[in-house]
Structure 1
């Protein structure tokens, strides 16, 4: 398995380089937001622009992933009397990033694909759309509602950013993006539904309130990006078995990328990875931390697995 990863990295580097050994300039630029929970090394490697959402704790406002790390957020969560609130970036913040990309581009034919948190969960898409209209004189921006959250967005964004960095054109990137949006699945477990309920993001999982007892709900997202109960399992072990069966039925032996994200629950994330990813034809595995914005709505202890086709 390791040898195959090394070969794939070598092939990628070969494709990215010109005869002089310099990296090609992609005509498609990728923008996302902090709720994609993409590890910083991948953000830098694939030149992804990330716009932070905001978290309000008491009288203080923080930028997700900028001056509020996942670690510091979950520490603060223990000390809070009231639940934190969140807000989307302003259109001006999006406009600033879009114009910076346009100013740094010298090809004059670049398109920005701006891929964001589900519109069912946030107004981020609205801000991005308003900003895209403001900058149409400088650069073309296509705003995409991922209808997903956390690394279920990130796993898609990374794949499209790889293509863009490798010189793929707009039509290629959009075709791949459309396919991944249809065929990427996410399943997650929360320790409590309290956060989803109080923050108003519980969606179609509201029917579970008051009936959990020892049940461990396996949650997912609908096609339009709402939270819904995929299955009610009795205990964590059975919940993991449900997720393993679901992804195996959906992907079989086809090559996939797997991402596991956790909210201050690294051991639980590793357990999820062992129980689910090992049964798949996994081409890459990424473990990431759920940031403050998503964590404010799911709470500590949440774990999620995202799976997307590798070819």
Structure 2
């Protein structure tokens, strides 16, 4: 059985030390501030991005990798490990063309190349945790079929919620009107976002104030997991005080077996804004 390699895009928000440890290859998306173009997690990190975002009067835009960029990474991986199988895991196709670029990139290689391109139907560490799990199983010598089965299990078993601090960036991104954003800000409304089964972003709920929003997230997670053993990842954009509060409340309520942390990078951060916290939970 040949080696199995994992490829992701930068929106998976996998910390660099984890990617390096597990040999996960990353194809970056682009972030554009006017005429300036940056490669997510390559030429711009999370901290630098949120500093630029705060100083910018206009919302940056984002751009998916081209098929040729995926082709180049696949070719390099196969040169490093001839005969390897590749599992390529990506941001939901419902919110980005990244998955489709990866599919086209695969088609540009010889037919005998063994590449499975997987639409995570998720975002940020919702996709990242599947890639990390896959890479760990690959390192343990598990088969491609076993790894894909675990990826599919995690798709079924994972719940994720983004607690958005401000409606400003949802307004800038065209998701809500200016009046709704203004009224929501005056009332201290905190939206809770998630992704549906098809991978599209939707508003789950909104609460007045952070405390009530966290309480609502706990209630929704309880409906899904109860006392089952779970693993969690806590993520944040800029400033982790709310994320740490969320983490402690989740740990006190649930049968948490492991906790990981990560930051939400420039691409996802463009759409949710600074001050966003997230929890990703799955059964173990």
User: TM-score when scaled to structure 2?
Assistant: 0.92
Contact 1:98-1:139 within 8 A present in 2 as well: no
Unaligned runs of 5+ in 1: 1-24
- Which of 19, 28, 31 is the aligned partner of 1:43? 19
* CA-CA distance at 1:252 after TM superposition: 2.2
Deviation string for 1:44-68 (max 9, x for gaps)?
1211111110000121100000010
How many Å apart are 1:254 and its aligned residue? 2.4
Q: Distance in 2 between matches of 1:158 and 1:196?
A: 29
Q: Which of 64, 70, 78 is 2:54 aligned to?
A: 78
Check whether the contact 1:99–1:139 (CA below 8 A) recurs between aligned residues: no
Shift of 1:271: 1.0
Select 1:62's aligned residue among 31, 35, 38.
Answer: 38
Extract unaligned runs of 5+ from structure 2.
none
Corresponding residue of 1:125: 99
1:20-31 to 2 correspondence within 5 Å? 27-31=3-7
Correspondences of 1:119-268 after superposition (within 5 Å): 119-137=93-111, 139-200=113-174, 202=175, 209=180, 212=184, 213-268=187-242
Stretch deviating more after TM superposition (55-64 or 209-218):
209-218
Distance in 2 (alpha carbons) for counterparts of 1:29 and 1:172? 14
Superposed CA deviations along residues 123-144 of structure 1, whole A, max 9, x for unmatched, are: 1011100001112435211111
Determine helix, strand or coil for the equivalent of 2:107: helix
Q: Post-superposition shift, 1:159?
A: 1.1
Q: Report if the CA contact (8 A) 2:165-2:191 is conserved.
A: no
Contact 1:257 1:282 in 2 (8 A): yes
What is the total number of aligned residue pairs between the two structures?
A: 280
C-alpha contact 1:156 1:308 (8 A) present in aligned 2: no
Give the superposition deviation at 1:216: 2.0
Q: Any residues of structure 2 matched to 1:79-118 within 5 Å, and which?
A: 79-106=55-82, 108=83, 110-118=84-92
Give the Å deviation of 1:183. 1.4
